[in-house]
Amino acid sequence: MKNTLKYFVGLLLSGAALLTSCDNESGITPDEITDLTAESTPGCIILRWNTPEESNIRYIEVKYYDPLLKKDVMRTASVYANSIEIPDTRAKYGEYNFTVQSVSATGDRSALQSISKVSEPAEPTYVSTQIALTAADLSTNAQEPSEGPIANLLDGNTGTFFHTAWSVEIPGPHWLQVNLKKEITEAYRFEYAPRNANNKPTDFDLMGSMDGNEWFLIKNFTKEADGIAGDGTYASEVFDVEQPFKQIRIVVNETNSKSVFWTMSIFKFYSVTVEDPEAPDTNE
């Protein structure tokens, strides 16, 4: 009986030892990624690496402090990925410090790897606001009396148009004047659509004024430099304001038909504000 009891006790002890041994071996330490590098683009940092083939990695974990969000951040990448993008970074914050670890299916982690990088400056964003215009805000020195009233520029219809004088002789250059009713101080852009393939401006001066009396050149636009005589609607790029203005004139120097008079079907003007993500934080 004593021998039988000893036998069962021995079995229990052996089983416990076996279970303990299995528990100790249940964790899987993952392989480390290799060749960790960092590169920067405007407003973004990209971490790249190589993952060992047939590794026991389940995913890659990246941790860092985000000064824009003012908190610690963790991002993960699949074992099949060899990079991860860190968005919304700023050059003004200096170095970003990253720690990188591979993680196994059991949740075990490799040794920490560290890398730092300064982001390239984030690019400005532009917010456009269309200026609401009425016919009373428009004027010209050369309205054609038989067709093309100036108010047609605002009806959103490319089938109607504004036409400067052809049936009566008015010396050139013919111009369109717009009262914007607000001071443009940061940036601007504009759009227009031609009437058809004829009498399209190929060279015009965009003039500015604060009072409608004294005028200055904002920019000269040409077919060669700005593509203003294209087949469709012309949309300018965003231009910074060098000198504030409240009114503008489009003074047409030349058309594709070599005529003094010119036509246009739609005109829109936008005030643009510039948001610089690299500007100092307001609480600094």
Residue whose structure tokens are 């604060």: 210
pLDDT at 23: 40
Residue whose structure tokens are 């050369």: 142
Other Cβ atoms less than 10 A from the Cβ of 204: the count is: 24
**Residues 112-152 pLDDT 10s:** 999 999 999 999 999 999 999 999 999 999 999 999 999 99
Q: How far apart are alpha carbons 274 and 131 in whole angstroms?
A: 16
Q: How far apart are alpha carbons 167 and 5 in whole angstroms?
A: 124
pLDDT at 93: 98
Q: How far apart are alpha carbons 145 and 150 in whole angstroms?
A: 11
Q: How far apart are alpha carbons 270 and 265 in whole angstroms?
A: 17
Q: What is the pTM of this model?
A: 0.71
Say whether the peptide bond before residue 173 is cis (omega within 30 degrees of 0): yes
Q: How far apart are alpha carbons 20 and 251 in whole angstroms?
A: 90
Q: Is the Cβ–Cβ distance between 182 and 246 less than 8 Å?
A: yes
CA 54 to chain centre: 40
Residues in the chain: 284
Per-residue pLDDT tens, the chain, 284 aa: give them.
444 444 443 444 444 443 433 344 478 999 999 999 999 999 999 999 999 988 899 999 999 999 999 999 999 999 999 999 999 999 999 999 999 999 999 999 999 999 999 999 999 999 999 999 999 999 999 999 999 999 999 999 999 999 999 999 999 999 999 999 999 999 999 999 999 999 999 999 999 999 999 999 999 999 999 999 888 899 999 999 999 999 999 999 999 999 999 999 999 999 999 999 999 997 65
Q: How far apart are alpha carbons 269 and 156 in whole angstroms?
A: 13
Which 3 state secondary structure label does DSSP give 257?
Answer: coil
Amino acid at 236: S
Where residue 129 falls (left for φ over 0; alpha for ψ -120 to 50; beta otherwise) is beta
pLDDT at 284: 55
In degrees, to the nearest 5, what angle opens at C-alpha 259 toward C-alphas 255 and 263? 65
Round to the nearest angstrom and report the end-to-end CA distance of the chain: 84
Query: What domains sit in the chain, N to C, each tagged with a CATH number?
Result: 34-122 (2.60.40.10), 127-275 (2.60.120.260)
Q: Is the Cβ–Cβ distance between 268 and 154 less than 8 Å?
A: no
Q: How far apart are alpha carbons 7 and 89 in whole angstroms?
A: 68
Q: Which pair of structure tokens corresponds to residue 107?
A: 């949740």
CA 211 to chain centre: 35
Q: How far apart are alpha carbons 139 and 113 in whole angstroms?
A: 68
Amino acid at 214: E
**Residues 47-66 pLDDT 10s:** 999 999 888 999 999 999 99
Return the half-sphere exposure (C-beta side, CA atoms, 13 A cut-off) of residue 107. Answer: 1
pLDDT at 26: 72
Pairing of β 187-193 and β 175-184: unpaired
pLDDT at 117: 98
